[in-house]
Homo-oligomer: A and B are copies of this chain.
Amino acid sequence: MATPCSSFSFERLGSCGEARRGRFHTAHGTVDTPIFMPVGTQATVKAMTPATLHALGAQIILANTYHLHMRPGEEIIEALGGLHTFMGWNTPILTDSGGYQAFSLAKLVRISDTGLMFASHIDGSPRLLTPEKAVDIQERLGSDIMMCLDECVAYPSPRKHVEAAVARTTLWAGRCLEARRSDKALFGIVQGGVFPDLRARSAAEISRLPFDGIAVGGLSVGEGHDRMLDVLDATMPCLTAERPRYLMGVGMPHDITEAVARGVDMFDCVLPTRNARNGMLFTWNGKVTLKQARYRRDERPPDEACTCYTCRNFSLAYLRHLYVTREILSAILNTIHNLHFYLELMRKVRHGIEEQNFEALRKHVKELYHD
């Protein structure tokens, strides 16, 4: 089976141990890896304008197909020129398949080889998401990188259940490839829960298919940092080196550096943006929880070494005040800081790989964030 004609390509530029420095090209521009993708669930990274995201150095964002299918609907976005035009974002966008939200957010009615039957979380209306439909929605959105529909399993799940999900994920992967009409990238997804042999089997099956990249799904669902790394140890050696590897929905800073050390190239996670709205800041001195009374009169910025707009202009006392009074500016300034931290982390990761001193950064981040 030959790789279909795709506008997507990936270059490996260097490595440091298993950690890889790379770059991929899409119809909307080039992205340096390892990369972190801010999450723009409903066609907006919460509290950020596109101008602010660009200024922060975001190269690619993720949007959620489930949410956009529900509101405003892919027909409207397509009619308005696609997701890039709709949300005013002219660099790459990756979309998920919608499956994860159908499992986690909607009321799941039934799953079969056909697809997922679920009830909308907004109006309860019945919906069917098939592999073909998931690709069709993403094509209409105009995504640069589409994800296959996969079957996610909860953690923990019995082996038999996970084994069936692996088989169905492979079945759906082939159907997603068949359904693709455009030259946009399509990534396969590896499942297998926390069973090393099932992960290896799924990785081998998905790797055999002509995807533009391979994602590892079904992690960061409650299994914990150490078990997640065990799964990566079982999975990564089964993936071919010439395609980008994407660890979905991960994670904390030390999750990211440990995964990079195992050869992962791409990440997305709601933590920097969600925690920002909950008053938690990531810094190079560890976490800062703004609700703490200790910051009431603290005139220092969250991180004295940080160059973000928030740290250059505002004190912990002011940020605490905004958080306590539930001001919108709290979400804005905290999100600017946390995304700056994550994007800076990835710049340091890339630089560390280039300079062959990634291990020092990895150790530092682990000390800061691994409880």
Chain A interface residues (CB < 8 Å from chain B):
42-44, 46-51, 67, 71-72, 76, 79-81, 86-88, 296-297, 299, 309, 313-315, 317-318, 320-322, 324-325, 327-329, 331-333
Q: How far is the CA of A229 from the CA of B318 in the complex (A)?
A: 40
Beta-carbon contact of A317 and B72 below 8 Å: yes
Chain B residues near A314: list those with CB within 8 A.
Answer: 88
Q: How far is the CA of A313 from the CA of B49 in the complex (A)?
A: 10
Q: Are A317 and B48 in contact (CB under 8 A)?
A: no
The reply to whether B327 and A46 form a contact with Cβ atoms under 8 Å apart is yes
Contact B88 A47 (CB under 8 A): no
- Shortest Cβ gap from A293 to chain B (Å): 11
Name A86's closest neighbour in chain B (CB-CB): B318
Residues of B within 8 Å of A50, CB to CB, are 313
Question: Are A71 and B328 in touch, CB under 8 angstroms?
Answer: no
Are A79 and B329 in touch, CB under 8 angstroms? Answer: no
- B317 touching A76 by the CB < 8 A rule? yes
- Kindly name the residue among A44, A79, A81, A333 whose own CB sees the greatest number of chain B CB atoms within 10 A: A44
Determine whether the beta carbon of A81 is less than 8 Å from that of B299.
yes
CA distance A314 to B329 in the complex (A): 21
CB of A22 to closest CB in B, whole Å: 31
Contact status B318-A43, CB under 8 Å? yes
List of B residues within 8 angstroms of A328 by Cβ: 44, 46-47, 328, 331-332
- Shortest A332–chain B CB gap in Å is 6
Pairwise interchain contact A42-B327, C-beta atoms closer than 8 A: yes
Contacts of A313 in B (CB 8 A): 50, 88
Separation of A90 and B196 alpha carbons in the complex (Å)? 59
A300 CB, min distance to chain B CBs, angstroms = 11
Nearest first, the 9 A-B pairs at minimum CB distance are: A47-B328, A44-B329, A88-B313, A72-B321, A42-B325, A44-B327, A80-B299, A86-B318, A46-B328
Nearest CB in chain B: distance from A138 CB, A: 18
Q: A49-B333, A71-B324, A79-B297 are in contact. List 6 more A-B contacts (CB 8 A).
A: A44-B327, A44-B328, A47-B328, A71-B325, A76-B296, A328-B328
A327's nearest neighbour on chain B, judged by CB, is B44
Q: How far is the CB of A58 from chain B (nearest CB, A)?
A: 14
Q: Is the CB–CB distance between B87 and A318 below 8 Å?
A: yes
Q: How far is the CB of A84 from chain B (nearest CB, A)?
A: 12
Q: Which B residue sits closest to A336, measured CB to CB?
A: B49
Task: Tell me the bound Cα distance from A297 to B73 in angstroms.
Answer: 11
- A330 CB to nearest chain B CB (Å): 8
CA distance A17 to B303 in the complex (A): 55
Q: Which residues of B contact A80 (CB under 8 A)?
A: 297, 299, 315, 317-318
Q: Report 18 cross-chain contacts, Cβ distance below 8 Å, ordered by A residue.
A: A43-B321, A44-B328, A47-B332, A49-B333, A50-B313, A71-B325, A72-B317, A72-B320, A72-B324, A76-B296, A76-B297, A76-B317, A79-B297, A86-B315, A86-B317, A86-B321, A88-B318, A328-B328
